[in-house]
Copies of this chain bind each other. A is one copy, B any other.
Amino acid sequence: MITSSATPPAARTAAPPSKRQAGAGLLAAELRVAIMRSSRRLRAEAASRDISPGQYSVLAAILHGPLTVGQLAEREMIQAPSMTRIVNGLESAGYVTRGENPLDKRQVLVQITEDGSAILRKARSRRTQWLAKRVAALSPEERETLREAARILQEMSAV
Residues of A within 8 A of B (CB): 1-5, 12, 17, 20-21, 23-25, 27-44, 56-57, 60-61, 64, 75, 77, 124, 127-128, 131-132, 134-136, 138, 140, 142-154, 156-159
Query: Do A25 and B132 touch (CB < 8 A)?
Result: yes
Within the oligomer, what is the number of copies of this chain?
Answer: 2
Contact A150-B36, Cβ < 8 Å, known A23-B143, A134-B156, A143-B23: no
Q: How far is the CB of A1 from chain B (nearest CB, A)?
A: 4
Contact A148-B147, Cβ < 8 Å, known A4-B64, A156-B38: no
A97 to B33, CA, bound (A): 26
A-B contact pairs, 13 of them (CB 8 A): A2-B57, A3-B150, A5-B158, A20-B140, A27-B135, A31-B146, A31-B150, A33-B150, A33-B154, A34-B153, A36-B42, A37-B157, A134-B159
A132 to B29, CA, bound (A): 8
Contact A140-B17, Cβ < 8 Å, known A135-B24, A135-B28: yes
Please give, as numbers and ranges, the residues of chain B lying within 8 Å of A147 by CB-CB distance: 3, 5, 12, 27, 30-31
Most chain B beta carbons < 10 A, residue from A43, A135, A136: A135
Please give, as numbers and ranges, the residues of chain B lying within 8 Å of A151 by CB-CB distance: 1, 3, 34
